[in-house]
Structure 1
Amino acid sequence: MKITKLETFHIRPRWLFLKISTDEGVCGWGEPDLEGKTKVVEEAVHILGKMIIGEDPMNIEHLWQLMYRGAFYRGGAILCSAISGIEQALWDIKGKTYGVPVWQLLGGRCRDRIRMYAHITPNVENPTVEQVREWAKKRLEAGFKSLKTPMFAPVRHIDTMQTVEKYIEKFAAIRETVGKEVDIAIDFHGRISPAMAPILCRELEPYYPMFIEEPVLPENVDAMVKIAKLTSIPIATGERLFTTWGFREVIEKQAAQVLQPDVCHCGGILQTYKIAAMGANYYCSMAPHNPLGPIALAACLQIDTCIPNFTAQEHPTMPDGTDLGNILFKEPFKIVDGYIDIPEKPGLGFEVNEEVLKDFAYDGYYICPVEYHSDDNSLGDW
Structure 2
Amino acid sequence: MKKNIQHLQQSHFDLKQQGEPKNEVARSFIDEPENDRRSFFKKAALGGLSLGGMMMMPLEDTLAHTTSKVNRLSNPSDLKITDMRIAQYGNVPLLKIYTNQGIHGLGDVRDGADKRYALMLKSRILGENPCNVERIFKRIEQFGWHGRQGGGVSGIEMALWDLAGKAYGVPLYQLMGGKFRDKVRIYVDTPTVQDPDEFANKMKERVDMGFTMLKMDIGIGLIKDEKDTLTNKSPWGPMRGWSDQDVMSYTQTPHQFTHVQITPKGLERMVEYAAKARAKVGFEIPLAIDHFGHMGYNEMIKLAEAFEPYNIAWLEDLVPWQNTEHWKRITEAITTPTLTGEDTYHKKNFKDLIENRAVDLVHPDPGSAGGYLQTKKIGDYAEEYGIGMALHHAASPITFMGTVHAAAATYNFIGLEHHSVDNPWWEDLVVGADGPLVKDGYVQVPESPGIGLELNEDEVKKRLKEGEQFFAPTDDWNEIRSWDRTWS
Q: TM-score range by the shorter chain?
A: 0.7 to 0.9
CA shift at 1:189, angstroms? 5.3
Task: Find the counterpart in structure 2 of residue 66 from structure 1.
Answer: 139
Match of 1:85 among 130, 145, 155: 155
Amino acid in the other structure paired with 1:348 = I
Q: Given the alignment of the two structures, is residue 112 of structure 1 paired with residue 215 of structure 2, yes or no? A: no
Between the aligned partners of 2:447 and 2:426, the Cα distance in structure 1 is: 17
CA contact 2:82–2:100 (8 Å) conserved in 1: yes
Amino acid in the other structure paired with 1:17 = L
CA contact 2:184–2:442 (8 Å) conserved in 1: yes
Between the aligned partners of 2:106 and 2:417, the Cα distance in structure 1 is: 20
Task: Find the counterpart in structure 2 of residue 310 from structure 1.
Answer: 413
Task: Find the counterpart in structure 2 of residue 232 from structure 1.
Answer: 335
Between the aligned partners of 2:89 and 2:219, the Cα distance in structure 1 is: 28
| Greater relative CO, 1 or 2 (CA 8 Å, sep 6+) | 1
Alpha-carbon displacement from aligned partner over 1:140-162 (angstroms, at most 9, x marks no partner): 12211100001243375212111
CA shift at 1:5, angstroms? 0.7
Between the aligned partners of 2:367 and 2:396, the Cα distance in structure 1 is: 10
Match of 1:101 among 162, 167, 171: 171
**What is the DSSP-based 3-state SS (H/G/I as helix, E as strand, rest coil) of the residue aligned with 2:214?**
strand
Between the aligned partners of 1:115 and 1:108, the Cα distance in structure 2 is: 17
Between the aligned partners of 1:306 and 1:231, the Cα distance in structure 2 is: 31
Instruction: Write out aligned runs for 1:320-335 (5 A).
Output: 321-322=422-423, 324-332=425-433, 333-335=436-438
C-alpha spacing 1:344/1:364, structure 2 compared with 1 (3 Å): farther
Amino acid in the other structure paired with 2:355 = E
Between the aligned partners of 1:84 and 1:45, the Cα distance in structure 2 is: 9
Between the aligned partners of 2:415 and 2:180, the Cα distance in structure 1 is: 14
Name stretches of at least 5 consecutive residues in structure 2 with no aligned partner.
1-78, 225-229, 231-259, 469-488
**What is the DSSP-based 3-state SS (H/G/I as helix, E as strand, rest coil) of the residue aligned with 1:265?**
helix
Alpha-carbon displacement from aligned partner over 1:230-269 (angstroms, at most 9, x marks no partner): 1111111001111011101110111111111110011101
Task: Find the counterpart in structure 1 of residue 57 from structure 2.
Answer: none
Task: Find the counterpart in structure 2 of residue 283 from structure 1.
Answer: 386
Q: Given the alignment of the two structures, is residue 139 of structure 1 paired with residue 240 of structure 2, yes or no? A: no
Percent of aligned pairs sharing the same letter: 31
Q: Given the alignment of the two structures, is residue 7 of structure 1 paired with residue 85 of structure 2, yes or no? A: yes
Amino acid in the other structure paired with 1:7 = R
> With structure 1 as the length reference, what TM-score do the two structures score?
0.88
Between the aligned partners of 2:147 and 2:317, the Cα distance in structure 1 is: 17
CA contact 2:144–2:153 (8 Å) conserved in 1: no
Between the aligned partners of 2:292 and 2:117, the Cα distance in structure 1 is: 27
Task: Find the counterpart in structure 2 of residue 56 from structure 1.
Answer: 129
Between the aligned partners of 1:58 and 1:190, the Cα distance in structure 2 is: 42
Q: How many residues align?
A: 352
Task: Find the counterpart in structure 2 of residue 368 from structure 1.
Answer: none
Stretch moving more, 213-222 or 171-180 = 213-222
Alpha-carbon displacement from aligned partner over 1:155-191 (angstroms, at most 9, x marks no partner): 7521211111011111011111111221101114563
Amino acid in the other structure paired with 2:202 = W
C-alpha spacing 1:190/1:298, structure 2 compared with 1 (3 Å): farther
CA contact 1:11–1:364 (8 Å) conserved in 2: no
CA shift at 1:344, angstroms? 1.5
Q: Given the alignment of the two structures, is residue 150 of structure 1 paired with residue 251 of structure 2, yes or no? A: no
Name stretches of at least 5 consecutive residues in structure 1 with no aligned partner.
366-382
> With structure 2 as the length reference, what TM-score do the two structures score?
0.69
CA contact 2:213–2:287 (8 Å) conserved in 1: yes
Between the aligned partners of 1:74 and 1:316, the Cα distance in structure 2 is: 24
Task: Find the counterpart in structure 2 of residue 373 from structure 1.
Answer: none
Match of 1:346 among 449, 452, 456: 449
**What is the DSSP-based 3-state SS (H/G/I as helix, E as strand, rest coil) of the residue aligned with 1:97?**
helix
CA contact 1:294–1:316 (8 Å) conserved in 2: no
| Greater C-alpha Rg | 2
Task: Find the counterpart in structure 1 of residue 240 from structure 2.
Answer: none
Between the aligned partners of 1:212 and 1:130, the Cα distance in structure 2 is: 21
Between the aligned partners of 2:328 and 2:450, the Cα distance in structure 1 is: 38
Between the aligned partners of 1:135 and 1:287, the Cα distance in structure 2 is: 23
CA contact 1:302–1:348 (8 Å) conserved in 2: yes
Greater fraction helix: 2
C-alpha spacing 1:324/1:238, structure 2 compared with 1 (3 Å): farther
Between the aligned partners of 2:118 and 2:441, the Cα distance in structure 1 is: 35
CA shift at 1:291, angstroms? 2.0
Amino acid in the other structure paired with 2:180 = C
Between the aligned partners of 1:175 and 1:79, the Cα distance in structure 2 is: 37
Alpha-carbon displacement from aligned partner over 1:342-379 (angstroms, at most 9, x marks no partner): 222110111110121111111489xxxxxxxxxxxxxx
CA contact 2:144–2:345 (8 Å) conserved in 1: no
